[in-house]
Structure 1
């Protein structure tokens, strides 16, 4: 089913970047945020939520339509949290509920720590917080190896190592699905640039960020740690479970796997709405 709604796009100049953002719908404010995933990936879910919410999406700094003045600058969770805070101030919006997934969940947690008055609920869906794991030194070494593999020019090898480290099994490639004799598709320059930024400037600062658990526990922001039903045993499942335990809560189940909100937004949104309501 195709879900579309009116989208108002804009840009916000900050000290070292220009941030692209999109707003749709009306009602209580929900922010959907990823890292490195951009606003385009959240669009189908945002369209669904816009039926009864105002939905803010954004391209994180250094990704797609949010260029940095210095493209070789790293992207830290604190920087991305400050960007979100500035966007909310610019729009005169909030306090907001924030659904962040993967690196976006790390950004959302950093926002709750640094700017608690702007966010009443954080749904941290599968944050890759290596520093909360017992084997964090091994996981950090794996990240270093993944990045080194990418820097060597082996992007496919880097992604293969990334999936192994995340304990995500990729479906087997079906050669019959392609067109025999067809030339391989040219890589999309925008996707290549986002991939490079993720490996070179975003992955390490994100996975090595350690949340201030005491501040999160003491704050007024409701923190929900989300885990996909199909993510059992994966790195982000382990990290999410560790985060929930540190916060004195239990993980909240969502349908599907790590990017279920992209793969099946219609199946994902009822659960998200329920969690936003506090059911």
Structure 2
């Protein structure tokens, strides 16, 4: 049974869930998603970890104090830092997916003493690529499509830009739980905020490779075995792993493999977190 809690941080109140026992494993969702995106994988980890999943500020149940505004990676990193401080003094395991992986990289670079091992699964940090200017122009095109045509136009351009348009997503091996269904229902309400205030500042973040290489935290970049180099997140993950001087860890599934292949994904994640 999950403990549902909140934490007041500057400018927002974060919603988070705590399950299981053992060392803390903080799970950071990406894009417009929230903690429920991990509902399938979490039950396979709670016998070994105290799993903490949260809604990033502005998404779902993590409400802002005032009007919506752009949220940069440093703000998200500060939120994760404050949440880990609330949970205890020991360095934690951290898993981040997509934009959540960018947040995890920011956290590990700026608050390295709080992170034991970070697994950054397919972070869309396109500024690390040789065609960084093209990547930034693409995020701007998504934003302008949203501004002129609304959420539907923005998401259509987003899927084209990131390489997911026309891609058939893997379906979950087991029926989604009620918690996950509720989460999918909330995502639609987060799309305005994602397109208007999160996509550009988070995707435009350039990880501090020097700090990540020199810090005490172990950094592992993850890629999906069903992802392709048509996808910006996959390409930037491979480039980041190369910059860090460590090969990427291969996980089952595509960009959302923890949804479609939850149990297998959890086994791989546990192995990666505890590898030496």
Q: Secondary structure at the match of 2:64?
A: coil
Check the 8 A contact 1:49/1:269 in 2, yes or no.
yes
Per-residue CA deviation, residues 35-74 of structure 1 (Å, 9 max, x unaligned), is 2321111122112211221100000000000011123221
Distance 1:263 1:157 in 2: 26
Other structure's SS at 1:74 match? coil
Q: Is the 8 A contact 1:32 1:46 kept in 2?
A: no
Matched residue, 1:152: 148
Q: Distance in 2 between matches of 1:110 and 1:60?
A: 14
TM-score, normalized by length of structure 1? 0.89
Q: Of residues 223, 233, 244 in structure 2, which corresponds to 1:236?
A: 233
Structure with the bigger RCO (C-alpha within 8 Å, sep 6+) is 2
Residue range with higher mean Cα deviation, 189-198 or 111-120? 189-198
Larger radius of gyration: 1
How far apart, in 1, do the equivalents of 2:116 and 2:185 lie?
A: 37
- 2:63 counterpart SS class: coil
- Is the contact made by 2:108 and 2:115 (CA closer than 8 Å) also made in structure 1? yes
Q: Note the alpha carbon deviations across 1:139-179, whole angstroms, 9 max, x for none.
A: 11111111111122343332222122111243579xxxxxx
- What do you get for the CA RMSD once the two structures are aligned? 1.7
Aligned partner of 1:266 among 238, 258, 263: 263
Cα shift at 1:227: 0.4
* Unpaired runs of at least 5, structure 1: 1-5, 174-187
8 Å Cα contact 1:62-1:71 kept in structure 2: no
Q: How many Å separate the matches in 2 of 1:80 and 1:260?
A: 23
CA deviations on 1:174-199 (whole Å, 9 max, x unpaired) are: xxxxxxxxxxxxxx984333101110
Q: In the alignment, which of 18, 25, 32 is matched to residue 20 of structure 2?
A: 25
Task: Give the total of aligned pairs.
Answer: 260
Residue 92 of structure 1 pairs with residue 92 of structure 2: no
Q: Matched residues in 2 for 1:215 and 1:112: separation?
A: 8
Encode CA deviations 1:103-132: one digit per residue, 9 max, x unaligned. Answer: 000000101011111111110000001101
Task: Check if 1:114 corresponds to 2:110.
Answer: yes
Partners of 2:238 and 2:22 lie apart in 1 by 32
- Give the gaps of 5 or more residues in structure 2: 170-183
TM-score normalised according to structure 2 size: 0.89
